Amino acid sequence: MTEQVRNSGQEPLPKIDTSVPHSARIWNYWLGGKDNYEVDRVAGDAFREIFPGIETGARAARYFLARAVRHLAAEEGIRQFLDIGTGLPNVDNTHQIAQRVAPDSRIVYVDNDPLVLAHARALLTSTEEGVTNYVDADLREPGTIIREAGKTLDFDQPVALMLMGILGHIEDHDEARSIVRQLVDALPSGSYLVQYDSTDTSEDYVRAIEQYNDGGSIPYILRSPEQIARYFDGLELLEPGVTSCSRWRPDAAALDLPAEVHQYGGVARKR
């Protein structure tokens, strides 16, 4: 099937606000990308001064995404991926990894940032056999996400739900858990949840986040590893469970990473 990259309704893009740093653009900067503005680089540098390990954590989280998608596509036979909170395209995005293993994979990205949407339209292409689609929606609207994603994905077949570094933007932990439950409940048996977020396991990281949140950006809330583990309640965790992203089934690309980073995640199956 030919490439499909669109937002639901094809509404005109909102104006991109370059006066306030944005987490997706800062993350892009830490990963060596070019899709960011001076305000993002200033915020990213200020964060790194307090917590120098942030770039290592960003790479560990990115490699975790790659290993998880590769495992699900190659070992578990998953052919559908719902990636919410996509962020800006980088090297080896979800669709590229999945379609490298299985060209007929179908991927739906979800975000509501206008810069992300603009790049999605230009860069998130697909194999001829598969589909790559984009939904413009907010994480707090799980019903809308499922409805729009259902135009591309078959919810009678297993889906990998990916929530990568996004739940920290939901300030109330109970609300974040409720959103995860609503999304998982819409998926059939045999589906998977792939999730990570940053943790409060470093005092310097906590201080850096406090400074970032004070700068007017959308707040990000650090949580304990135990709180992150609660997102997987009722699901069957794959080994090694919820752990530092660099420890989740490391491969050669992760050998230069420390065993402990302050991004924790896991992969779990819906029975």
Task: For residue range 160-187, list pLDDT tens digits in order.
Answer: 999 999 999 999 999 999 999 999 999 9
What CA–CA distances, in Å, run from 99 to 81, 88, 133, 256? 11, 19, 13, 27
Q: Looking at residue 83, what is its pLDDT?
A: 95
109 pLDDT exceeds 80? yes
User: Is residue 5 one of the residues assigned to a domain?
Assistant: no
Residue at 53 is within a domain: yes
Residue given tokens 């007929």 in the structure block: 104
pLDDT band at residue 123 using 50, 70 and 90 as cut-offs: low
Indicate if the pLDDT at residue 9 is higher than 70: no
Q: Is 16 within the bounds of a domain?
A: no
pLDDT of amino acid 203: 96
Contact at 8 Å (CB) between 87 and 116? yes
More confident residue, 233 or 31: 233
Q: Is the pLDDT of residue 202 over 90?
A: yes
Residue 117 has pLDDT above 90, yes or no: no
- Provide mean pLDDT across the span 79-90: 87
Contact in structure between 228 and 173 (CB atoms under 8 Å)? no
Our count of domains for the chain comes to 1
pLDDT band at 7 (very low <50, low <70, confident <90, very high): very low
Q: Is residue 15 part of a domain?
A: no
Residue 4: pLDDT over 50: no
Average pLDDT over residues 140-168: 97
Cα distance between residue 265 and residue 143, in whole Å: 24
Residue 7 falls inside a structural domain: no
- Report residue 236's pLDDT band, with 50, 70 and 90 as the boundaries: very high
Q: Assess if residue 201 is contained within a domain.
A: yes
Q: Quick one: average pLDDT of 31-46?
A: 89
Residue of 27 and 260 predicted with greater confidence: 260
What H or E segment, with its residue span, contains residue 108? Answer: strand 106-111
- The range of the structural domain enclosing residue 34 comes to 23-270
- Domain assignment present for 90: yes
> 36-40, 64-68, 100-104 — which is least confidently predicted?
36-40
Question: b/e per residue, 77-102, with b = 16+ CB within 10 A?
Answer: ebbbbbbbbbbbbbebbbbbbbbebb
Domain-located, residue 190: yes
Write the CA distances from 142 to 54, 170, 242, integer angstroms: 30, 13, 24
CATH of the domain at 173: 3.40.50.150
Q: What is the mean pLDDT of the chain?
A: 89
Percentage above 70 pLDDT, the chain: 91
